[in-house]
Amino acid sequence: MKTLQTLLAAAMLAAVPAVAAAAPAPAPAPVRNIVLVHGAFADGSGWKPVADILLRDGYTVSVVQEPLTSLEDDVTATNRILDRQQGAAVLVGHSYGGAVITEAGNNPHVASLVYVAAFVPDAGDTVISQIKTNPPAANSIAPTADGYLLVDRAKFPADFAADLPLADARFMALSQVPWNAKIVSTPITAPAWKAKPAYGIVATQDRMINPDLERSMYAHAHAKVTDIKGSHAIFISQPRAVASVIEQAARGER
């Protein structure tokens, strides 16, 4: 006959696999690479205030200089930088850059997406179709003779960068990068936010993209949303607040 001690020992041994199976999986390591994508009428240099903070905080930062010639070209430029990453990366897009990261975010290096006052298209959506659902306060974009778009220089400071020093906003107006008009009607094919975590920043004083449109786009992407008081140029005017959201994404905080 088995003793009570033998029965207890057998029961404890039988329970070990169940306990091991129930042990929680280790938390994923924080992402250390950040890739920043600019939007229309801007270039990558606008990310400098955010990049400086991220670098000081120990992140590896890359800035994409996409040409704004077509959505395909801009996604290709972004993938070129993503393919050089050593490990996983947080992919960040401002404004039209949100459409770019929605496609380029399917790159296997991308762990999560951060939308900064940005478009978040679904499959079949275009930038213009999203704008039409909730138009912005600004009406200052006009075509060039060769099919590109620019913001009226006189209106640029108030519409794009109202919370920057006027001299800085005026220089941005002078140096803005033309945006190929065909981009606004190019549909998204495979939204990366359907498979990867998304974070969204609403610029509450945005005149280039309606803040309510930003909220609704972030909602359909199930993004973690942060409101920040600022203009469309919030990545320049509020770099610490924007960097904080990017770092949340890097840590996987939801």
* Strand order from edge to edge, sheet including 110-116: 60-64, 33-37, 89-94, 110-116, 198-203, 224-228
Domain boundaries 33-251, corresponding CATH code: 3.40.50.1820
What tens-digit pLDDT sequence spans the chain (254 residues)? 455 454 444 544 454 444 444 555 555 678 999 999 999 999 999 999 999 999 999 999 999 999 999 999 999 999 999 999 999 999 999 999 999 999 999 999 999 999 999 999 999 999 999 999 999 999 999 999 999 999 999 999 999 999 999 999 999 999 999 999 999 999 999 999 999 999 999 999 999 999 999 999 999 999 999 999 999 999 999 999 999 999 999 999 99
Token couple for 23: 């042990």
Q: How far is 148 from 67, CA to CA, in rounded Å?
A: 12
C-alpha to C-alpha distances, 221 to 102, 106, 120, 123, 169, nearest whole angstrom:
10, 15, 7, 12, 31
Domain assignments of the chain as residue spans, ordered by start: 33-251
Catalytic positions, please?
Answer: 95
- Number of Cβ within 10 Å of residue 72's Cβ equals 11
**Model-level pTM?**
0.90
C-alpha to C-alpha distances, 238 to 124, 173, 227, nearest whole angstrom:
32, 19, 12
The CA-to-CA distance between both ends of the chain, in Å, stands at 56
